[in-house]
């Protein structure tokens, strides 16, 4: 019996594939140029070309569909505590490490290594964000290891290597390694001072003071890393320790993986709960100085939260533009419908502002010998993480709506939007949720003359838009008035918007910075996306954001 074709499939968009993520991201290119004008971007061009291919998109899909599997014992009953990943996960890890998105900026080689790495991290996030967790933690902990010169001397070259080796074996037998962190416990969460895990000194050796760790960690991401920096209570208080999976004698350390977390998103990454049964660890820094050391590392991972969300926002906008430019409704392409134009221009503005702020923050880490840059890193890290991550989930929902039902399904090219949406809340929660960031901003305001630093930051954009000038004039008084816990979130928002506007005024076309200032600062906006004023040059904003 012959099959019957009931209809022809048409008016369905072709997937967004085989394009260069860097070349088509004008906002990122301009942000890099503004913050690192002498940076050579050939590596970013090459990375963007690779990440846009069908093959890499397939790896991203497979790494999420085939989630990590925990194996606590081998078939003979011996503890092995290993996590098995799909081959696509390892292909992605090799690509990220090969691109130098982990510890390579700490070599000090090249111009603006942190901006270069930040831009690459954002591009990779567009492809697949969840497997970047061990990449981000390796980046964050590498400088923290300097608190133990012996360990740093042996491990830093491997942490900065562009070779990826997933095998569980002794570090000196591997061409490259990764590291993670273990901070939070069941009873404490962000309040790490409530940790109960204990450290007892057992002696000393070539790596310094050795301890025995007993306790647990409630969130222990990337348990397959080669080593971890963990917090535990020592006699002098909460202390930072280096804890390897494989001990120097080749035996497995006493790290027991209890289970993997079943998460809303972040499916390709293994997040776990672990117990330490007298695990061997080595002191990093001084006893009782664990919290300041962890805060320094947290600063780097918070930068990555802002970068990662910015990358996800760009991917959501790109998917929305790809869909609406090919799908017609009511007689013309969706992208030509006035209301849809408003939505698309609005989310493109938000995405570009996030990119501008995140790359500006990365620039601060390239210039830590400059007092202004040190203070801006201290202020903008919690501000960027708070505001960008808060805006990301709203943008993802609006971008998904542009695709309608096609965006809500998990299959095909447009199924990426569902993955983006599920991933968005994580960066807001990870490394301190919104309240923690707002409180951290208050602490930062006590470090130096924050009002003067912000005035200096905004000065190059003065005189370009009345709304920005008004906010810049009012900001010192707002810093004084709103530096309280009740209003700390409002202050973080104001600082974020002011800096974003100043950056766009310096680095983006007039259509972009005028629309951003008029809507976000001037009040010509309804707060929901798609409520820009009629005078906005939506066509110019949309054309700038197109992914092709």
**Vertex 357: Cα angle to 354 and 362 (nearest 5):** 125
> pLDDT tens digit string along 365-402?
999 999 999 999 999 999 999 999 999 999 999 999 99
Tell me the three state secondary structure of residue 283.
Answer: strand
Q: Could you give the CA distance from residue 65 to residue 361 in angstroms, rounded to a whole number?
A: 34
Q: Could you give the CA distance from residue 34 to residue 198 in angstroms, rounded to a whole number?
A: 48
Mean pLDDT of 95-120: 95
The answer to whether 18 and 54 are in contact (CB under 8 A) is yes
Q: Could you give the CA distance from residue 110 to residue 107 in angstroms, rounded to a whole number?
A: 9
**Alpha carbon separation from 227 to 138, 241, 355 (Å, rounded):** 10, 10, 32
- Burial call 108-140: b when 16+ CB within 10 Å, e when fewer: eeeebbbbbbbbbbbbbbbbbbbbbbbbbbbbb
- Name residue 378's beta-bridge partners: none
| Strand positions, DSSP E, 206-316 | 208-221, 227-234, 237-244, 255-260, 271-283
Mean pLDDT of 17-22: 97
Is the pLDDT at 212 greater than 60? The verdict is yes
End-to-end CA distance of the chain: 44
> pLDDT tens digit string along 305-354?
999 999 999 999 999 999 999 999 999 999 999 999 999 999 999 999 99
Spell out the residues 6+ positions from residue 317 whose beta carbon is closer than 8 angstroms to its own. Answer: 344, 347, 348, 351, 395, 399, 545
Tell me the three state secondary structure of residue 68.
Answer: coil
pLDDT in the model for residue 295: 81
pLDDT in the model for residue 1: 52
- Name residue 180's beta-bridge partners: 228
- Burial call 279-288: b when 16+ CB within 10 Å, e when fewer: bbbbbbbebe
- Indicate where the chain has its CATH 1.20.140.10 domain(s): 292-545
pLDDT in the model for residue 188: 80
Element (H, E) at 308: helix 290-324
- Residues of the chain with pLDDT > 70, as a percent, come to 99
Q: Could you give the CA distance from residue 500 to residue 510 in angstroms, rounded to a whole number?
A: 14
Spell out the residues 6+ positions from residue 426 whose beta carbon is closer than 8 angstroms to its own. Answer: 263, 264, 265, 266
- DSSP class of 173: G
**Vertex 245: Cα angle to 242 and 250 (nearest 5):** 110
Residue ranges of alpha helices (H) inside 404-518 are 405-408, 416-429, 434-445, 450-458, 466-482, 488-507, 510-516
Mean pLDDT of 210-236: 96
Report the CATH architecture of 171-289: Beta Barrel (2.40)
Mean pLDDT of 119-145: 96
pLDDT in the model for residue 501: 98
At 362, list the tokens: 């990365």
The answer to whether 359 and 117 are in contact (CB under 8 A) is no
Spell out the residues 6+ positions from residue 14 whose beta carbon is closer than 8 angstroms to its own. Answer: 326
Q: Could you give the CA distance from residue 389 to residue 424 in angstroms, rounded to a whole number?
A: 8
Confidence of residue 411 (pLDDT cuts 50, 70, 90): confident
The answer to whether 356 and 27 are in contact (CB under 8 A) is yes
Q: Could you give the CA distance from residue 99 to residue 121 in angstroms, rounded to a whole number?
A: 9
In a 13 Å sphere around the CA of 523, the CA atoms on its Cβ side amount to: 4
- DSSP class of 253: P
Q: Could you give the CA distance from residue 211 to residue 235 in angstroms, rounded to a whole number?
A: 11
- The mean of the pLDDT values for the chain is 95
C-alpha 491: how far from chain center: 22
User: Crossing angle, helix 371-403 and helix 434-445, to 10 degrees?
Assistant: 160
Cβ neighbours around 188 below 10 Å, total = 15
- Indicate where the chain has its CATH 2.40.110.20 domain(s): 171-289
Is the pLDDT at 37 greater than 80? The verdict is yes
Top CATH class, 292-545: mainly alpha
The answer to whether 183 and 290 are in contact (CB under 8 A) is no
pTM confidence score? 0.96
Mean pLDDT of 23-31: 98
Q: Pick from 316, 343, 336, 441: which is nearest to 387 by CA?
A: 441
The answer to whether 324 and 407 are in contact (CB under 8 A) is no
The count of residues in the chain is: 548
**Alpha carbon separation from 347 to 272, 361, 391, 410, 545 (Å, rounded):** 35, 21, 10, 22, 10
Tell me the three state secondary structure of residue 186.
Answer: coil
Confidence of residue 296 (pLDDT cuts 50, 70, 90): confident
At 224, list the tokens: 């397959």
Residue ranges of alpha helices (H) inside 325-337 are none
> pLDDT tens digit string along 238-254?
999 999 999 999 999 99
In a 13 Å sphere around the CA of 233, the CA atoms on its Cβ side amount to: 13
Q: Could you give the CA distance from residue 20 to residue 37 in angstroms, rounded to a whole number?
A: 21
């Amino acid at each position: 019996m012959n099959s019957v074709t009931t209809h022809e499939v048409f008016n369905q968009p072709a997937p967004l594939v085989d394009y260069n993520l860097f070349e088509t991201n004008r906002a990122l290119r301009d942000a890099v140029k503004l913050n690192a004008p002498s940076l050579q971007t050939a590596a970013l061009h090459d990375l963007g070309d690779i990440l846009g291919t069908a093959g890499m998109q397939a790896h991203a899909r497979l790494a999420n569909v085939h989630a990590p599997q925990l194996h606590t014992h081998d078939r003979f009953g011996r503890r092995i505590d290993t996590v098995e990943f799909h081959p696509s996960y390892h292909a992605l890890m090799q690509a990220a490490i090969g691109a130098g998105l982990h510890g390579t900026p700490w070599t000090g080689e090249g111009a603006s290594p942190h901006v270069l790495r930040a831009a690459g991290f954002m591009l990779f996030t567009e492809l697949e964000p969840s497997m970047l967790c061990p990449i981000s933690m390796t980046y964050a902990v590498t400088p923290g290891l300097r608190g133990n010169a012996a360990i740093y001397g042996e491990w830093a070259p491997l942490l900065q290597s562009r070779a990826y080796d997933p095998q569980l074996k002794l570090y000196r037998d591997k061409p490259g390694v990764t590291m993670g962190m273990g901070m939070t416990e069941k009873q404490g969460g962000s309040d790490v001072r409530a940790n109960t895990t204990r450290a007892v000194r057992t002696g000393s050796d070539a790596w310094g003071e050795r301890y025995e760790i007993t306790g647990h960690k409630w969130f222990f991401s990337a348990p397959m890393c080669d080593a971890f920096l963990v917090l535990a209570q020592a006699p002098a208080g909460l202390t930072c320790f280096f804890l390897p999976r494989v001990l120097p004698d080749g035996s497995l350390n006493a790290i027991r993986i209890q289970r993997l977390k079943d998460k809303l998103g972040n499916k390709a990454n293994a997040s776990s709960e672990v117990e330490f049964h007298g695990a061997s660890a080595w002191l990093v820094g001084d006893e009782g100085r664990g919290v300041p050391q962890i805060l320094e590392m947290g600063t780097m991972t918070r930068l990555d939260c802002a970068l990662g969300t910015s990358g996800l926002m760009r991917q959501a906008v790109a998917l929305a533009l790809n869909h609406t430019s090919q799908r017609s409704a009511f007689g013309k392409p969706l992208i030509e419908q006035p209301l849809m134009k408003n939505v698309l221009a609005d989310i493109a503005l938000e995405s570009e502002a996030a990119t501008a702020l995140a790359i500006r923050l990365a620039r601060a880490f390239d210039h830590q010998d400059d007092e202004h840059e040190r203070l801006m890193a201290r202020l903008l890290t919690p501000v960027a993480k708070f505001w960008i991550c808060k805006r990301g989930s709203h943008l993802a929902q609006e971008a998904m709506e542009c695709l309608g039902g096609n965006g809500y399904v998990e299959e095909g090219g447009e199924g990426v939007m569902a993955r983006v949406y599920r991933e968005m809340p994580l960066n807001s929660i990870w490394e301190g949720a919104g309240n923690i960031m707002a409180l951290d901003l208050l602490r930062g305001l006590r470090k130096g003359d924050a009002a003067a630093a912000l005035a200096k930051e905004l000065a190059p954009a003065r005189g370009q838009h009345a709304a920005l000038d008004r906010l810049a004039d009012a900001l010192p008084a707002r810093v004084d008035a709103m530096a309280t816990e009740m209003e700390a979130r409002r202050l973080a928002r104001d600082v974020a918007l002011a800096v974003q506007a100043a950056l766009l005024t310096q680095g983006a076309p007039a259509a972009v910075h005028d629309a951003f200032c008029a809507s976000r600062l001037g009040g010509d906006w309804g707060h929901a996306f798609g409520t820009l004023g009629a005078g906005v040059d939506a066509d110019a904003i949309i054309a700038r954001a197109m992914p092709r």
